[in-house]
A and B are shown apart, each in its own frame.
Chain A
Amino acid sequence: MSAEVTPSPEFDEAPPVSPFKLLGTLGIAGALAGLLLVTVFQITQPSIQAYKAKVLRQAVLEVLGGPQEYETLYVVDGALTNELPAGADARALEKVYLGIDEDGSPDGFAIPAAKPGFQDVVSLIFGYDPATGQLRGMKVLANKETPGLGDSIEKKAWFTGQFAGRSVPLVAVKKGTGSGDATEVDMITGATISSRTVIKAINEALERVRGMVDAYRPGAAGAGGAER
């Protein structure tokens, strides 16, 4: 081992460094890092937002099952309105999506819902038709349930597919034991808690917004939605 490298001077009895130099180094480094991050943020943000909007649009149209267009409605003071109140932040408001037919008439609502599941909050969106009182479809937007078991609520097509045409409020039944009633939803074996979470989330969300949805009159903009 003849090739010992002599220790570099800065690790060996370095003269005391001025605190201002330390402060300056970290200050400049922090400023540069901040600058870089802001630049990258500005560059990537549009495509991140576009992706999120695309995912939402696909989900809304999927659970509406028919309409190719929709309108975003905001929940303001216990009523739905298609006009964002002045000064309000759209992201902070609860939203419901109204399906619009080709001829411009309203056709069903897509309603987001969320509820704590087995591990974390399960968020989903479902389509509801106030005219028939039936669901149009259901799609899980985000879940952290157990891979292979609980996450079947998002991945198993027979589970997600059975919500279309069901009447509310939904009743959870063990798979294969239902009596064929229109309110029954089969749970997934091995994912009872996750399945029940989906069903409860839909029931609770509907209970909350059903009055508003039934009361909403499209075209009557602004406060018109509050008439009963």
Chain B
Amino acid sequence: MKATTPTQDLMRGIWRENPVLVQMLGLCPALAVTNTVANSLAMGIATFFVLLGSSLLVSLLRHLIPNEVRISAYILIIATFVTVAEMGLEAIVPEVHKALGAFIALIVVNCMILGRQEAFASKRPVGRALLDAVGTGVGFLIALFLMGAFREIIGMGSFLGQPLFGPHYEPWVVMILPPGGFLTLGALLIALSWFQKRRAAGAATAAALAAEGGAA
């Protein structure tokens, strides 16, 4: 494993290795609950909490957990935090809990979270593990927010429940149905790869110009 700076640990998950948009992890919640901005944010925050708590504990206990039972121990830790998050949501924001339904419990099997424990938190000191968890959690939240905003604006003509367009706007209902999740994810990935290609092409042109200038 390569040594990384703390800044890299933090920033990596947010953009360059965004769990949803680049690593393609945690797609089940990203497709299932992003039909409104409020649901996306709630899911993103719940996942963030679980990831942070699990990374903290796994990193703290990394010398105590025998290698042979580490996966069971990680799952136990993650499941505990998920259950706490579920009860907390039901007690604090029951409407959101009702809207997210079974998908909160399914955070347990979000491979993004287990992946961070196995690949990072179990081998690093607490500070680094927390930075990585914050970065990955924020990256996940951003991806979910983008999808939720896109789907709610087009599919319901509103943002966080506030109508954006006049009464004559006919919402594209398909965008808040399951197929809309796939369409949105596809559109986001196209936009992202187009953007990256343009950046790469721009850098190449600049390099070529610089080389030409140097030759002349």
Chain A interfacial residues counted at CB < 8 A: 33
B3 touches A17 (CB 8 A): no
Complex CA–CA separation, A47 to B88 (angstroms): 10
In the complex, whether A132 has a CB less than 8 A from a CB of chain B is no
In the complex, whether B91 has a CB less than 8 A from a CB of chain A is yes
B207–chain A nearest beta-carbon distance, Å: 24
Task: Tell me the A33-83 residues at the B interface (CB within 8 Å).
Answer: 33, 36-37, 40-41, 43-45, 47-48, 51, 55
Q: Which residues of B contact A43 (CB under 8 A)?
A: 91
B81–chain A nearest beta-carbon distance, Å: 9
Q: Which residues of B contact A8 (CB under 8 A)?
A: 123
B173 touches A17 (CB 8 A): no
B80 touches A14 (CB 8 A): no
A1 touches B2 (CB 8 A): yes
Of B16-24, B43-51, B65-73, B190-198, the segment with at least 4 beta carbons within 8 Å of chain A is: B65-73
A25 touches B177 (CB 8 A): no
A33 touches B76 (CB 8 A): yes
Complex CA–CA separation, A148 to B176 (angstroms): 8
In the complex, whether A228 has a CB less than 8 A from a CB of chain B is no
A41 touches B94 (CB 8 A): no
A118–chain B nearest beta-carbon distance, Å: 13
B90 touches A48 (CB 8 A): yes
B27–chain A nearest beta-carbon distance, Å: 20
Q: Which residues of B contact A37 (CB under 8 A)?
A: 80, 83-84
B66 touches A25 (CB 8 A): yes
Q: Which residues of A contact B98 (CB under 8 A)?
A: 142
A3 touches B66 (CB 8 A): no
Chain B interfacial residues counted at CB < 8 A: 34
B84 touches A10 (CB 8 A): no
In the complex, whether B135 has a CB less than 8 A from a CB of chain A is no
A11 touches B67 (CB 8 A): yes
Task: Tell me the B161-188 residues at the A interface (CB within 8 Å).
Answer: 171, 173, 176-177
Complex CA–CA separation, A40 to B92 (angstroms): 13
Q: A25-B64, A148-B155, A148-B177 are in contact. Are A41 and B87 (CB under 8 A)?
A: yes
A33 touches B67 (CB 8 A): no
Binary flags per residue of A137-149, CB closer than 8 Å to B gives 1, else 0: 0000010101111
Q: Which of B66, B91, B155 contacts A22 (CB 8 A)?
A: B66
Binary flags per residue of A117-157, CB closer than 8 Å to B gives 1, else 0: 00000000000000000000000001010111100000000
B134–chain A nearest beta-carbon distance, Å: 22
Q: Can you name the residue of chain B whose Cβ is closest to the Cβ of A47?
A: B91
A25 touches B65 (CB 8 A): yes
B35 touches A22 (CB 8 A): no
Q: Can you name the residue of chain A whose Cβ is closest to the Cβ of B101?
A: A144
A136–chain B nearest beta-carbon distance, Å: 25
Task: Tell me the B1-56 residues at the A interface (CB within 8 Å).
Answer: 1-3, 35
Q: Can you name the residue of chain B whose Cβ is closest to the Cβ of A16?
A: B68
B84 touches A40 (CB 8 A): yes
In the complex, whether B60 has a CB less than 8 A from a CB of chain A is no
Of the A-B pairs whose beta carbons lie under 8 Å apart in the complex, a sample of 26, sorted by A's number, is: A3-B3, A4-B3, A11-B67, A22-B68, A22-B69, A25-B66, A26-B69, A26-B72, A29-B73, A29-B77, A30-B76, A37-B84, A40-B84, A44-B88, A44-B90, A44-B91, A45-B91, A47-B91, A47-B92, A48-B91, A51-B91, A51-B94, A144-B101, A148-B155, A148-B173, A148-B177
Given contacts A21-B66, A40-B84, 5 further A-B contacts (CB under 8 A): A17-B66, A36-B84, A44-B87, A51-B91, A148-B177
Chain B residues packing against A (C-beta within 8 Å):
1-3, 35, 63-69, 72-73, 76-77, 79-80, 83-84, 87-88, 90-92, 94, 98, 101, 123, 155-156, 171, 173, 176-177
